[in-house]
Amino acid sequence: MRVVLQDEAFDVAAEVDAVAREAGVEAGAVAMFLGLVRGGDGLRALTLEHYPRMTLARLSAIAEEVSARYDLLGCTIIHRVGTLGVGAPIVLVLAAARHRGASLEAVETMIDWLKTRSPFWKREDYDDGRQVWVEARAADDAAAARWDL
């Protein structure tokens, strides 16, 4: 299991190799999700704020819970924070398993939980100087209902 919070970009190939190595010869499937800063409408950058004392513990809890639920052989979560330009990678999630179903479902679950159960907030910075906090989507929100205030 590998959980990383960092400002810098990550090396996708190195991470895929690492999770496959962690998984060993029993692994038949590696699934990945890579989130990028989506451009358009004059977006200049995305700023990711987080809750430093809490974030890494949450990421670890997600990786552990998902690894157990899907019997993963390898699992990686890397989330960036700070200001990222259009097209920049934000988050990388990898799951290695014996079979494809588990790896794909594990990745989907991890990225859902990263969006709903991890203390990150995105702010959009526009060319014209506007700064707009991204609102949680209703769909994401519903999934997080268990800790609604």
Partner 1 sequence: MKDVSITVLYFASLRDRLGLDRERYALTSPDATVATVLDALAERHDALREAIGAGAVIRAAVNQQFATPATPVAAGDEVAFFPPVTGG
Please report, as ranges, the residues that interact with partner 1 according to CB under 8 A: 35, 48-51, 53-54, 57, 79, 90-91, 100, 111-112, 114-123, 133-136, 140-141, 144, 147-149
Q: Contact 78/63 with Cβ under 8 angstroms? A: no
Q: Least distance from C-beta 121 to partner 1, angstroms? A: 4
Beta-bridge partners for 46: 84, 124
116: which 2 tokens?
């709903």
Both tokens assigned to 101: 């179903």
Q: Which does 29 bind (CB under 5 to 8 A by kind): partner 1, its own copies, none?
A: its own copies
Q: Counting beta carbons within 10 angstroms of the beta carbon of residue 58, is it exposed (0 to 12), middle (13 to 18) or buried (19 or more)?
A: buried
Q: Which of 2/123 has CB closer to partner 1?
A: 123
Pairing mode of beta strands 2-6, 74-80: parallel
> Smallest distance, Å, CB 94 to its own copies?
9
148 is in the binding site of which of partner 1, its own copies, none (Cβ under 5 to 8 A by kind)? partner 1
Min CB(51)–partner 1 separation in Å: 6
The entry of partner 1, its own copies, none that residue 2 binds, CB within 5 to 8 Å by partner kind: none
DSSP states along 66-107? HHHHTT-SEEEEEEE-EEEETT-EEEEEEEEESSHHHHHHHH
* Closest distance to partner 1 from the beta carbon of 96 (Å): 17
95 and 106 Cβ atoms separated by less than 8 Å: yes
- Between 8 and 148, whose beta carbon lies closer to partner 1? 148
The site partner of 79 among its own copies, partner 1, none (C-beta below 5 to 8 Å per kind) is: partner 1
